[in-house]
Amino acid sequence: MLNEILPFALPINKIAIAGTCLWALALYIACSSLRYWITEQLDRWFHFAESLYLPQDELQRTRKSRASQNAFYASIFSIFPFLAAGILCDYGVDLSLGRSWSISLGILACMGCAVYELGRRSGEL
């Protein structure tokens, strides 16, 4: 379908996309404090950017809805640094072990990081 829209061929490597997403998910799960920090900083930046463009009466009137919208956007955009790190991890696995290992190690990393996160949360109680 993409070949019908674009006049040139765009090769898509499905293994690289799957490996990158798996590594990004593993890093997203494992680095929860970094994830919360990135989300908080993006939320603060969105609030600051809005205050530059909207008048004060409009800011006060729509504060509650904008706060929830900014929190949603911050949580969505906080994924991108982990996707970049996932690209680097997947590329490193491809260089060192070969393409056939990227998905296997990505799944293993997701399971290991999920077990780590569960243990970390139960240790906080």
What pLDDT was estimated at residue 21? 95
What pLDDT was estimated at residue 88? 96
Inter-residue contact 102 to 15 (CB < 8 Å): yes
Cβ neighbours for 94, distance < 8 A, ≥ 6 positions apart:
16, 19, 102
As averages over each run of 10 residues, the pLDDT of the chain (125 residues) reads 73 88 95 93 89 76 84 94 95 90 92 92 79
